Amino acid sequence: MGSYNHQDIEALVLGDDLIFCVLSNVKKGAEKTFIKADVKPVVLKGELHYQVSKYDTQKVFHENLSPQGLVSYFEEVLGHYFKQAQFYTKKSDLQVLFNKRGEGTVLKKPPTRFAVDLSHNRKKQYLIPEGEACDFMQALGVMDSEGKVYKKMYDKFRQLNKYLEFVEDVLPYLGDEITIVDFGCGKAYLTFALYYYLVKLKNRAVKIIGLDLKQDVIQFCNQIAVQLGYDGLSFRIGDIGAFDYEERVDMVVSLHACDTATDEAIGKAVAWKAKVVYAVPCCQHELFNQLENNEMSLLLKHGVVKDKLATIVTDTLRAQALEAVGYQVQVLEFIDMTHTPKNILIRAVLSDKSEEQKKLDYEKYQAFINAWNVRPRIDKTLAVFFPASHKPE
Ligand SMILES: C[S@@+](CC[C@H](N)C(=O)[O-])C[C@H]1O[C@@H](n2cnc3c(N)ncnc32)[C@H](O)[C@@H]1O
């Protein structure tokens, strides 16, 4: 429980973090015009605004405010008119209660709502904008020296930026010195983007190791890293399953690494107690020939449907297995379908979940495994992290 500070609310509105808000509990003695109000972001003529809906007993009145206008509205009513506010933000849920003197206390909880993507209506503000020179984008052939994105690289440019938006969300979980392992980095567009973003735009001290099986690709990436003076970025040849690293690892990334390589990456991340795990799985074949379920046999009848189902079951199990070893997991769309259908992002953040909760999560995971009668690779890579006491009798 902390004290309410108007500047914190201002920062979350201006920082584009507010997802929804409900104001209620009108102060005794206030001239009662509305009994409740809620606030949601909307896009008007390409710009972010907030729609404030004010309720009386019969009707609802809408007003659209700029972010700064909303900050002023909050200043006017919070503690003076409404005694209670519930903020849903990208990073946390905040319940604020005001006493008679207008002093507020804040109860902070993990976030329960996800932001609605308004980007299709909004002038896109990319984290690495077009029109400004960017050394790694130029070196990798995404932009020219004036920052103009090459037409054929536009999808890649959008993908890199989208990826960084997802990374931005987890920055509060990472410290100022961050070590990251990027498994199956390939030509490493995303690895360079991550380094650039954290070091140049966010001023963090960062060490990133990219790992891949391909010698020529690793050689190329190391050359570019040296050429750009990216001292904390290096690349190694190797197989994920055989990779050892003795020091602390804060974040593990595995983007489009093939089939069960994702499970190996998750296994390493959990063993290192990495605070953050990003996995975008790709070409899951493992469960296709294992799935069995008499009640759901129609889902297994047509190869195309069964293939999609195998992917969904695999990713559901990966997400739930991470829950069972103590992570808070989100499954998100990585990039839109026009670029590639490989669009599931499993984003996991290590939490202080109780043993009891882990046990419940493990039981759900085990029940799902039993329902489909499968033995996925994730069950093997995480086996040692599921304590025996968690397993059902
Ligand atoms: C499709 S590429 C993705 C590259 C990059 N991560 C991206 O998303 O743009 C997959 C990469 O994973 C690498 N890979 C697959 N299995 C691997 C393993 N077991 N160990 C290391 N690298 C692996 C492949 O060599 C390939 O370069």
Q: Could you report the per-residue pLDDT of 335-386, keeping only the tens digit for each?
A: 654 555 657 899 999 999 999 999 999 999 999 999 999 999 999 999 999 8
- Model confidence at 118, pLDDT cuts 50, 70, 90, reads low
User: Which of 213, 237, 343 has most ligand 1 atoms within 8 Å of its beta carbon, as the pocket-test mutant?
Assistant: 213
- Model confidence at 389, pLDDT cuts 50, 70, 90, reads low
Q: Does residue 104 carry a pLDDT above 60? A: yes
Residue-wise DSSP of 326-370: TEEEEEEE-S-TTT-S--EEEEEEE----HHHHHHHHHHHHHHHH
Q: What is the pLDDT of residue 14?
A: 84
Atom of ligand 1 nearest to the CA of 217: 27
Q: Does residue 173 carry a pLDDT above 60? A: yes
Q: How far is CA 303 from CA 289, 295, 308, in A?
A: 11, 17, 9
3-state secondary structure 132-153: CCCHHHHHCCCECCCCCECHHH
Ligand 1 centroid, distance to 185 Cα (angstroms): 5
User: Which residues sit with their C-beta closer than 6 Å to ligand 1?
Assistant: 184-186, 189-190, 211-214, 239-240, 255-258, 261
Q: What is the pLDDT of residue 324?
A: 96
Q: CB of 329 within 8 A of CB of 319?
A: yes
SS3 of 184, please? coil
Atom of ligand 1 nearest to the CA of 182: 6
> Which pLDDT tens digit goes with each residue over 184-235?
999 999 999 999 999 999 999 999 999 999 999 999 999 999 999 999 999 9
> Which pLDDT tens digit goes with each residue over 67-92?
999 999 999 999 999 999 999 998 89
Q: What is the pLDDT of residue 17?
A: 87
- Model confidence at 113, pLDDT cuts 50, 70, 90, reads confident
Calculated CA dihedral for residues 186, 191, 338, 50, nearest 10 degrees: 170
Radius of gyration, CA atoms only, the chain:
24
Q: CB of 275 within 8 A of CB of 173?
A: yes
- Over residues 121-149, mean pLDDT: 88
- Over residues 309-335, mean pLDDT: 93
Q: What is the pLDDT of residue 5?
A: 87
> Which pLDDT tens digit goes with each residue over 229-257?
999 999 999 999 999 999 999 999 999 88
CA nearest neighbour of 53 among 41, 39, 43: 39
Q: φ, ψ for residue 327 (rounded to 5)?
A: -95, 150
Cβ neighbourhood burial of 153 (10 Å; 0-12, 13-18, 19+): middle
Q: φ, ψ for residue 293 (rounded to 5)?
A: -165, 105
- Over residues 21-39, mean pLDDT: 91
Q: What is the pLDDT of residue 337?
A: 45
pLDDT cut 90: percent of the chain above it: 74
Q: What is the pLDDT of residue 119?
A: 55
User: Which of 189, 208, 212, 219 has most ligand 1 atoms within 8 Å of its beta carbon, as the pocket-test mutant?
Assistant: 212
What value does the mean pLDDT of the chain take?
91
Residue nearest to atom 8 of ligand 1 (CA): 255
- What is the C-alpha separation between 321 and 327, in angstroms, rounded? 9
Ligand 1 centroid, distance to 304 Cα (angstroms): 25
- Model confidence at 322, pLDDT cuts 50, 70, 90, reads very high
- Residue environment code for 133-145, b if the CB has 16+ CB neighbours within 10 A, otherwise e: ebbbbebbebbee
Entry pTM: 0.71
Q: CB of 337 within 8 A of CB of 156?
A: no
- Could you name the CATH architecture of 128-390? 3-Layer(aba) Sandwich (3.40)
Q: What is the pLDDT of residue 16?
A: 83
Q: Does residue 271 carry a pLDDT above 70? A: yes
Only one residue has tokens 């990334």, namely 253
SS3 of 99, please? coil
- What is the C-alpha separation between 326 and 348, in angstroms, rounded? 9
Q: What is the residue extent of each domain of the chain?
A: 2-109, 128-390
Q: CB of 344 within 8 A of CB of 334?
A: yes
Q: What is the pLDDT of residue 42?
A: 87
Only one residue has tokens 């990027």, namely 182
- Model confidence at 319, pLDDT cuts 50, 70, 90, reads very high
Q: Does residue 123 carry a pLDDT above 60? A: no
Ligand 1 centroid, distance to 39 Cα (angstroms): 43
> Which pLDDT tens digit goes with each residue over 5-20?
888 888 888 888 899 9
